[in-house]
Chains A and B, each alone.
Chain A
Amino acid sequence: MSGQGQVKIVDEHDPEVSPERLIERFGRDFFRDFDIDDPRLNEHFHEVIDLMVQKCPVAHSTVGTGYHVFSTEDAVRRIGQDWQTFSSAKGYIPNRPDDQPMMIPVEQDPPNHTSWRRVLNPHMSPQVMDSIREDVAREVNLLIDKFIDRGECEFISEMAGLLPGRAFFIYVLGVPVDDLPQLVHDVDKSLFGPLETRTAYHKKVYDYLEEFMRKRQQMPPQGDIVDTILKNVTYSDGQEAPWEHQVSVVLDLTYGGISTTIYALGSTARHLADHPEQRQQLLDHPEWIENSVEEFVRAYSPVVAMGRTCMRDVAVEGVQLKEGDYVMLGFSGAGRDPRTIANPKELNFAEPTIHHATFGVGPHRCIGSHLARMELAVFITEWLKRIPHFQVKPGTEPVYETGFMRAMSSLFLEWK
């Protein structure tokens, strides 16, 4: 039997999951007719994701060539770890545009993927991120300086949209600071801008980074991650990786380094603005801040889902998939799975062992996870020291966007 069109619903007789009820509630039957780009998913995001992980662990989409979405923490982990069966080499988004160059190493499998990760990982380790903690704290404070006296800010354009770019490009990649605003803008447009211009912006970012790499080739080595990429790796066929792959590695790090962290910062700030009692917990227990980061990224995963291609016929969660079928790993759902988290909709900063798949599982585990954790912990620490009490500005509503990534485009905060 073909994998096309199968869904797994926990209780078919549950009236809450009937197509009619889902269409009435969300405007679409997101279980049997999922679409990650439907604006109604953005509108009802956590309602849909929570209901899906509880009641429809395998959903199906008919968009393009079609795909299945797996939401439980267990299935996401098993698919992510089994790279032999579930390949990344045919793209991490469904119905991938043919004219978009492959991203390296995220769209590779071992052993070539491993060749890159082995040399890149040491530059992104927890130890290295600890060493730039003070620099990031200074950046947070410089940004706060600019708006604290005003008693309000638009958090995305004045903090979240700036900090990850500055942290990554200045302290990890070493991109000239003057180039940052344009680069951050172009990355944003390539991900969330109008569909018809995304490829053009993607190309613009690629061209900038290629030029940056060419300039670095002419400069003395600095012993950083760029030198490691320029030094290159050897693939399993004995050949060196082509130049386009070297540039792509920088592109991949860039996409990982910016948009995801913007959303993580935005949703963290919004949660703390909306929950004064939880803010107070972190003010009273700064030692919980590090742990709170796990809860923020668990509950508000910046990556909604990423995909794999089945390399053979395989059954997952009782759904029979065929070779060539496309599957998505629902990271947003996996972090809110009641099978692994007691009260997934609540954030519990005192709970030490938090399961989520926000940073991925298996060999593609987010290489920037330690940078993101450090940035978030430093942000919470420094912000609460200076702005311990704040709220979403009355009369404003935070604005979200959703595709395979979740994003926040505005968040107005105010304080006394």
Chain B
Amino acid sequence: MQLKVDEMLCSGHSRCAKFAPAVFSLDEAGFNTAVGRVVDVPPGEEDNATKAMKACPERAISDAGQ
């Protein structure tokens, strides 16, 4: 599973790191550190990653495989 984090849309809500701390981390301002990149979801973290994707108020996280 691969997820893409939109650099223009991330506004620092930080919900992603709350739901999937093993997938996403935050910078010192509370923004996703993977903005503008594609993230490989570690095996076993798919459920958490999906929750993080769905919880983003900006819909900034999308499935890179689609």
Contacts and interface: CB of A to CB of B under 8 A. Distances in A.
A127 B13 contact: no
A121 B27 CA distance: 10
A365 B28 contact: no
B51 A353 contact: yes
22 contacts: A77-B57, A81-B58, A121-B30, A122-B30, A125-B12, A125-B14, A125-B28, A126-B14, A126-B26, A127-B28, A352-B19, A353-B19, A353-B51, A353-B54, A353-B55, A361-B57, A362-B58, A363-B11, A365-B11, A365-B12, A365-B13, A370-B14
Taking residues whose C-beta sits less than 8 angstroms from the other chain, chain B's interface range is 10 to 19
Interface of A: 77, 81, 118, 121-122, 124-127, 290, 352-357, 359, 361-363, 365, 369-370
Contacts of A81: 9, 58
Does more than half of chain B's interface fall in helix, strand or loop, or is it mixed?
A: loop
B5 to A, nearest CB: 15
A356 B59 CA distance: 12
A126 B59 contact: no
Given A127-B28, A127-B30, A359-B13, 12 more contacts: A77-B59, A121-B30, A122-B28, A122-B30, A125-B26, A125-B29, A127-B26, A353-B19, A353-B55, A357-B57, A361-B57, A363-B11
Interface string B21-59: 000001011110000000000000000000100110111
B38 to A, nearest CB: 21
A369 B13 contact: yes
Nearest to B11: A365
A136 B7 CA distance: 33
B29 A118 contact: yes
A362 B58 CA distance: 7
A304 B31 CA distance: 26
Contacts of B13: 359, 365, 369
B51 A352 contact: yes
Which of B11, B14, B19, B58 has the largest count of A CB atoms less than 10 A from its CB? B11
A121 B55 contact: no
Contacts of A361: 11, 57-58
A408 B54 CA distance: 32
The list of the 8 closest CB pairs from A to B, nearest first, reads: A121-B29, A125-B30, A365-B11, A353-B54, A353-B55, A122-B28, A122-B29, A126-B14
A361 B15 CA distance: 13
Contacts of A355: 55, 57
Contacts of B55: 352-355
A370 B30 contact: yes
A353 B9 CA distance: 18
A354 B51 CA distance: 10
A131 to B, nearest CB: 13
Which of B19, B26, B28, B57 has the largest count of A CB atoms less than 10 A from its CB? B57
B4 to A, nearest CB: 17
B11 A362 contact: yes
A325 to B, nearest CB: 24
A77 B28 CA distance: 25
B60 to A, nearest CB: 9
